[in-house]
Structure 1
Amino acid sequence: MGTESPPYELNSFSSVQNHGESAKDKAVDDWLPITSSRNAKWWYSAFHNVTAMVGAGVLGLPYAMAELGWGPGMAVLVISWVVTFYTLWQMVEMHEMVPGKRFDRYHELGQHAFGEKLGLWIVVPQQLIVEIGVNIVYMVTGGKSLKKVHDLVSPNAPEIRLTYFIMIFASCHFVLSFLPNFNSISAVSLSAAVMSLSYSTIAWTASVAKGVQPTVEYTYAGKTRTDVVFNFLSALGDVAFAYAGHNVVLEIQATIPSTPEKPSKKPMWRGVVVAYIVVAICYFPVAIIGYWIFGNSVEDNILISLEKPKWLIAMANMFVVVHVIGSYQIYAMPVFDMIETFLVKKMHFTPCFRLRFIARTTYVALTMFLAMTFPFFGGLLGFFGGFVLAPTTYFLPCIMWLVIYKPRKFSLSWFTNWICIILGVLLLILAPIGALRQIILSASQYKFYS
């Protein structure tokens, strides 16, 4: 994966080197979440990336395997891990490709590749849909996991609506959302990363302890060929959702200090490698063992299929709650940055706590409301995975690489990027079709706010 030299001279971008930055602009940058702190260590990159990636997605992987089957399921898992590892390396490399300039945000890199206006229109809508979509899914996941803990610990207690558990889960975010930047949520993120490894391990070890079910079947669960095809397509989106970290990787790298002698990409890449090893340790055992034990009867959240021992499954679900609290904050931070940048730089509001309080509280309330209204966990994974995670994770970094570095036609880099682009476009087209059908079927049987 050799890095081609960008097609410009060292001094051709002197206009972007921040020398003319005014004191006011500097003060605003010091207030905004992404650029306010640049003293992170390489291990911050590791646990931020683990927290961003290993979340609701890992719990749905056995279900995705059941809809894909053994052969296609293993192929999709491995290919996705390899492709996203490669595209994440590209993002890390492109962070400081212009001397004296750091692309601290995904859309800034898009603007450099596609132009000032077109770059914004290409990247910002997709990134916002990803981050808001993931936050909604995590609201649902947190609420469902809390409900599972309640039902396990108090099986004879009166039934409590999922809606209320989503509200309980959301309540902590009305407080945590006031942490100003990535470095300030590092303790939350570290806890979340540890929890992700813990509940993933519990998920597959408890499955092994349960043993292969007597009625296990590895045939497709769909009753008709149409069901099988649409479920297969939806499962592609489920797997894509599991590799969502690219949407915040530049923002995470922006927190690491950088000098010409010690560029940020070195510690960032070290953290990414560690994170991807942890991702493999979490994903592959859960996906393979979960499907092996339960077959096509596995739930869209593996922990729901596990009932005993009750104390262990309750603990695992609480680990999920802690983890998605951290994941929510990781994905919310770039959204907070966009909102506050718009309010301060475009609308000319004064940077202050009151502005931050109103903006962030409104955002948390909005994601809570949408999660309460549309808690279709499995369908949401597939839809968001295919519709917006496929472009921003699987092929948008490759397109930007081709546009900026212009590798020689038919070279290894050229072929690699085009293969990733083709796979990503297929995922973008196919996955939302199956997921949308699943959401419609779930909605037809759902009573709002039940």
Structure 2
Amino acid sequence: MEGFNQREAGKRNGKPIKTCREDTPLLGNNSTPLSCQSKTFANLFIAIVGAGVLGLPYTFKKAGWFTSTVTIFSIAGLVYHGMMLLVHTRRRLQERLPPPGSTNERTDHVFSFGDLGFAACGNIGRASVDTVIVISQSAFCIGYLIFIGNTLAHLFYSTASLSVVATDLFVSRKIFGIRPKTVYIWACFPFQLGLNSIPTLTHLAPLSIFADIVQFGSMGMVLVQDAVIINHEAHSVKAFGSVSTFFYGMGVAIYTFEGIGMVLPLEDEMKDKPKFPKLLCVSMFSIAFVYAAFGLLSYLAFGENTQDIITSNMGKGLLSTLVQLGLCINLFFTFPLMMNPVYEVFESRFFNGGYCMWMRWLVVLVISLVALYVPYFTDFLSLVGSSACCVLGLVFPALFHYIVFKDEMSQRGAIMDLAVIAVGIIFGISGTWYSLKEIFAV
């Protein structure tokens, strides 16, 4: 998934036990680095591959298949570089800690992105990371509600054909004078209040594994359907788009690779740490290949009829309906897991770390209200990717790396860090602008 959080703090036999941070790996709860390469590889896939992949075919339609393919692999390289900057920065900060047994021994350890921000920039660094994490995690959940509302509206309250644009799908019919999407989002609201009121979400973690199984299953179903359609019918497709669609596609691509918050804990728990960079590289570009194949084949299959949620192109058969319902169910239960980092930030900063149910309910209400007014799933992915995810994946890693290494790095290294920061800022501002234009143009 894009992220996972569960914090359990306490003491055992008078000694502090390890705290599970906002980005504790979903698989593997050992407090010592015992993960083998295969387990770490699986964890990386779970951390990175999420619901955003379902918006890639629509991105190929808008930006062109060649531009989108190049963008996906380029973003994979940039995000991989950002992930490795975090790993190198954490390793150097750990080297600077007093050795075990010394009189000045410290017990702190850089477990998470926020810890690294604090170690590099103090309270400002942690506050900046926490702020962007709150924005990104909340945005992920807004995207979930948009997906659920639009998908259920398509399944149960639309008679439009696949050649009709998404706008007609979701406004052509109403339930008691209310848009179907609105009805379904509000129907989720009371249940989400209950789920998000649970202080400890450990027993919901298996549902995230189920979410990934359904995710890969649905992708497989779409690819099989794509192959059948391509074999029988050819659609005209475009290779290139405009400047605005390039930045649009860039935002979606960064969103789909947003697993950077998981990198530090995954590297921390791996048994053979020197092999982590190579394993991470193989994972990132394997996922990039899957993304490119998924987006390209789906675009070739449906051409200009490709919808912003590709599962909407699957028609109304029983198997298609089950796949789409499964995706809605797993995103519904993933919602409280993804929101837990937000609650931890608010409760630690404003409620002395104590549980606050009314705050959680208020946050769920705000997220539901925002989801009501964003019409397109993929448009919102692009906005989130261009803003919050761009900062987390490019700007912060290069900035923290530069701050920690500035007194010892070469001029070339400093230029590379500053260049990544500049690229991240340019991509972020441009992508956010063009994404907002797409959203408000509907």
TM-score, normalised to structure 1, is 0.74
Determine the C-alpha separation between the residues in 1 that align with 2:39 and 2:343. 20
Which of residues 177, 194, 197 is equivalent to 2:196? 177
User: Which AA in structure 2 matches 1:372?
Assistant: L
| Inter-CA distance 30–433: structure 2 relative to 1 (3 Å threshold) | closer
| Inter-CA distance 373–103: structure 2 relative to 1 (3 Å threshold) | same
User: Which AA in structure 1 matches 2:130?
Assistant: V
Shift of 1:390: 0.8
User: Which AA in structure 1 matches 2:338?
Assistant: Y
User: Which AA in structure 2 matches 1:313?
Assistant: S
User: Which AA in structure 1 matches 2:365?
Assistant: A
Shift of 1:143: 2.1
| Inter-CA distance 182–211: structure 2 relative to 1 (3 Å threshold) | same
| Inter-CA distance 410–296: structure 2 relative to 1 (3 Å threshold) | farther
Q: Secondary structure at the match of 2:385?
A: helix
Determine the C-alpha separation between the residues in 2 that align with 1:248 and 1:182. 18
Identity fraction in percent: 18
User: Which AA in structure 2 matches 1:58?
Assistant: V
RMSD over aligned CA atoms reads 4.0
Do 1:195 and 1:319's aligned partners in 2 also have CA atoms closer than 8 Å?
A: yes
Deviation track 1:51-73 (CA, whole Å, cap 9, x = no partner) reads 55323321111121222223221
TM-score, normalised to structure 2, is 0.75
| Inter-CA distance 316–22: structure 2 relative to 1 (3 Å threshold) | closer
Determine the C-alpha separation between the residues in 1 that align with 2:350 and 2:292. 43
Q: Secondary structure at the match of 1:341?
A: helix
Determine the C-alpha separation between the residues in 2 that align with 1:257 and 1:74. 33
Correspondence for 2:169:
none
Which of residues 217, 224, 231 is equivalent to 2:245? 231
Which of residues 65, 68, 73 is equivalent to 1:73? 68
Do 1:379 and 1:438's aligned partners in 2 also have CA atoms closer than 8 Å?
A: yes
Deviation track 1:343-395 (CA, whole Å, cap 9, x = no partner) reads 343xxx7x3xxx34333333223212221233432321111111221111123
Determine the C-alpha separation between the residues in 2 that align with 1:221 and 1:78. 16
User: Which AA in structure 2 matches 1:54?
Assistant: V
Q: Secondary structure at the match of 1:60?
A: helix
Q: Secondary structure at the match of 1:374?
A: coil
| Inter-CA distance 385–34: structure 2 relative to 1 (3 Å threshold) | closer
Q: Does 1:314 align with 2:321?
A: yes
5+ residue gaps, structure 1, are 1-20, 223-227, 443-450
Q: Secondary structure at the match of 1:186?
A: helix
| Inter-CA distance 387–210: structure 2 relative to 1 (3 Å threshold) | same
Q: Secondary structure at the match of 1:211?
A: helix
Determine the C-alpha separation between the residues in 1 that align with 2:307 and 2:181. 17
User: Which AA in structure 2 matches 1:341?
Assistant: S
Deviation track 1:214-238 (CA, whole Å, cap 9, x = no partner) reads 572223898xxxxx44333222212
Shift of 1:285: 2.2
Q: Does 1:205 align with 2:224?
A: yes
Which of residues 285, 294, 306 is equivalent to 1:298? 306
Correspondence for 1:168:
187
Do 1:181 and 1:333's aligned partners in 2 also have CA atoms closer than 8 Å?
A: no
Determine the C-alpha separation between the residues in 2 that align with 1:330 and 1:404. 32
Q: Does 1:405 align with 2:405?
A: yes
Determine the C-alpha separation between the residues in 1 that align with 2:269 and 2:47. 21
Correspondence for 1:129:
135
Shift of 1:177: 2.7
Correspondence for 1:39:
30
Correspondence for 1:389:
389
Do 1:51 and 1:330's aligned partners in 2 also have CA atoms closer than 8 Å?
A: no
Deviation track 1:207-260 (CA, whole Å, cap 9, x = no partner) reads 2222268572223898xxxxx44333222212222122224555x559x769xx
Determine the C-alpha separation between the residues in 1 that align with 2:20 and 2:255. 31
| Inter-CA distance 89–312: structure 2 relative to 1 (3 Å threshold) | farther
Which of residues 188, 200, 214 is equivalent to 1:195? 214
Q: Does 1:140 align with 2:146?
A: yes
Q: Secondary structure at the match of 1:408?
A: coil
Determine the C-alpha separation between the residues in 2 that align with 1:56 and 1:221. 25
| Inter-CA distance 425–440: structure 2 relative to 1 (3 Å threshold) | same
Q: Does 1:61 align with 2:56?
A: yes
User: Which AA in structure 2 matches 1:389?
Assistant: C
Do 1:204 and 1:290's aligned partners in 2 also have CA atoms closer than 8 Å?
A: yes
Determine the C-alpha separation between the residues in 2 that align with 1:81 and 1:404. 24
Do 2:72 and 2:288's aligned partners in 1 also have CA atoms closer than 8 Å?
A: no
| Inter-CA distance 362–257: structure 2 relative to 1 (3 Å threshold) | farther
Shift of 1:45: 6.2
